[in-house]
Amino acid sequence: MQIQPFKLERYFAKYEFSARYLLCSSDCESLSVGDLLALEPGAEEALRRHWLGYTESPGAPSLRKEITRIYTSITPEEVLVFSGAEEAIFLFILAELKAGDHLIVHWPCYQSLFEVAKGMGVDVTLWVAREENGWQPDLDELKRLVRPETRAIIINTPHNPTGYLMPRSDFDELNRIALERGLVLFCDEVYRELEYDPADRLPAACDVNPGAVSLGVMSKTYGLAGLRIGWIATHRAEILNRIATLKDYTTICNSATSEFLSEIALRHREEIAGRNLQIIRQNLSLLDDFFSRHANRFEWIRPKAGPIAFPKLIAGDIDVFCDELVNESGVLLLPGTLYDHPGNHFRIGFARKNMPEALARLEKYLDN
């Protein structure tokens, strides 16, 4: 297997802990361990007593039980917990695909969703979401992309980097297409529960499609990236078994303290997600004003969910723009070229409390 470098992660490796203002993060505002423990009486004492031996490989039963509350039809045995969503993506692809198989991936996207498969010799076709269609991928096009050797479809909704949220009718049709053709639908739902209008929330794919695998994580909606806890939920026991067998070669089991803290956070997930959604709503209204003030420089399609969007720089080269911006003002944006996207776009993130300050910095830079 030969995997290409993860462009976005390499870029973050260069700037994430040195740039003064991160205006492109996809994770919501975090919490301290103290803040989290304060959510429950007795939690601090329980953490002190928590045993630090190996943990159960699929994830602590009590954590898996808490995760099932996110879904309507999933049992604890149908959940497998990992060190982040990234490990889950890697092992799903390794377990379910082999060289010569065909995979369809919703694009632009988080690079590992297609790159790991490509590195294994899987034939990957990108199902392209186009700006001129408001980032809505075309279902007729998807039907044309399916071949006899197609094994799986990977999608991400709410979407990184555009903030696009599939309408329910498209989501139902997509699940129908996958089911009718016997394809696994891997649905990256790491931004779920961050819909600006709760009525737009889609069901988890695993709850409406017996052939689907849903991906969740602590990092994004709940802002707890440092815990490195993610999971998949599916009714497909044979997929879970194949992945569990491979996990023995990656992390074996998860961090005991992270599992403990994740369980507390998930017991309060509505409160935590609600707080993050409030930060997003406030920051989005600042962005609405910002983009209307700078309509001659940027175009943007307002997102429908999640902490990020993918505006376009009208004139000038986006790589040069982002590079000069971070070097001269300390504000980090992500050029769309990190997604191999040719459209002169950049990713902007707005789920952090210091976003207004970062945006003011950007505006000052533009005005100079």
Ligand X SMILES: Cc1ncc(COP(=O)(O)O)c(C=O)c1O
> Does 225 engage in binding with ligand X (CB under 6 A)?
yes
Q: Strand, coil or helix: what is 331?
A: strand
26 near ligand X, rule: CB under 6 A:
yes
Q: Which of 110, 127, 164, 310 binds ligand X (CB under 6 A)?
A: 110
Q: Based on CB atoms, which residue is closest to ligand X, 150 or 156? A: 156
Position among 103, 165, 217, 309 found at the interface with ligand X (CB under 6 A) = 217
- Cα–Cα distance, 30 to 63 (Å, whole number): 20
To ligand X, the closest distance from the beta carbon of 18 in angstroms equals: 19
Nearer to ligand X, 264 or 329 (CB): 264
Q: Give yes or no for residue 156 binding ligand X (CB under 6 A).
A: yes
Q: Which is nearer to ligand X, 19 or 329 (CB)?
A: 19
Q: Cβ of residue 190: shortest distance to ligand X, in angstroms?
A: 5
Cα 207 from Cα 213, distance rounded (Å): 9
Q: Is 190 in the site for ligand X (CB under 6 A)?
A: yes
Size of the site for ligand X (CB under 6 A): 13
* Among the residue ranges 30-38, 81-89, 144-152, 284-292, the one whose residues contact ligand X (CB under 6 A): 81-89
Distance linking the first and last C-alpha atoms of the chain = 48
Residue 14 beta carbon to ligand X: minimum distance, rounded to whole angstroms: 16
- Please report how close the Cβ of residue 81 comes to ligand X at its closest, in angstroms: 12
Does residue 230 interact with ligand X by CB under 6 A? Answer: yes
- Dihedral over Cα of 189, 143, 168, 350: its sign: positive
- The stretch near ligand X (CB under 6 A) out of 41-49, 80-88, 238-246, 288-296 is 80-88
In which element (H, E) is residue 287 found?
A: helix 269-293
Helix (H/G/I), strand (E/B), else coil: 111: coil
Question: Whole-number minimum distance, CB 124 to ligand X, in Å?
Answer: 16
> Which residue in the set 30, 162, 219, 234 belongs to the binding site for ligand X (CB under 6 A)?
219
Closest approach of ligand X to the CB of residue 85, in Å: 4
- Residue 84 interacts with ligand X (CB under 6 A): yes or no: yes
Q: Are 149 and 177 in contact (CB under 8 A)?
A: no
Q: In angstroms, what CA-CA distances link 364 with 50, 122, 335, 348? A: 49, 46, 20, 17
HSE, CB side, 13 Å, CA atoms: give it for residue 252: 5
Return d(Cα 195, Cα 277) in angstroms, integer. 8
Beta bridge partners of 214: 187, 233
Site for ligand X contains 188 (CB under 6 A): yes
For 112, phi then psi, to 5°, come to: -65, -20
Residue type, 243: I
Quick one: 66 or 189, whose CB is closer to ligand X?
189
Q: Does 160 bind ligand X (CB under 6 A)?
A: yes
Minimum CB distance to ligand X, residue 328 (Å): 26
> Which amino acid, residue 247?
K
List, edge to edge, every strand of the sheet that includes 334-335: 308-309, 346-349, 334-335
User: What is the rounded CA–CA span in Å between residue 152 and residue 103?
Assistant: 5
The CB-of-216 to ligand X minimum distance in angstroms stands at 10
Tokens of 282: 């406030």
Piece in contact with ligand X (CB under 6 A), picked from 217-225, 309-317, 345-353, 359-367: 217-225
Residue sitting closest to ligand X (CB): 84
Q: Which amino acid is at 231?
A: W
Interacting residues toward ligand X by CB under 6 A? 26, 84-86, 110, 156, 160, 188, 190, 217, 219, 225, 230
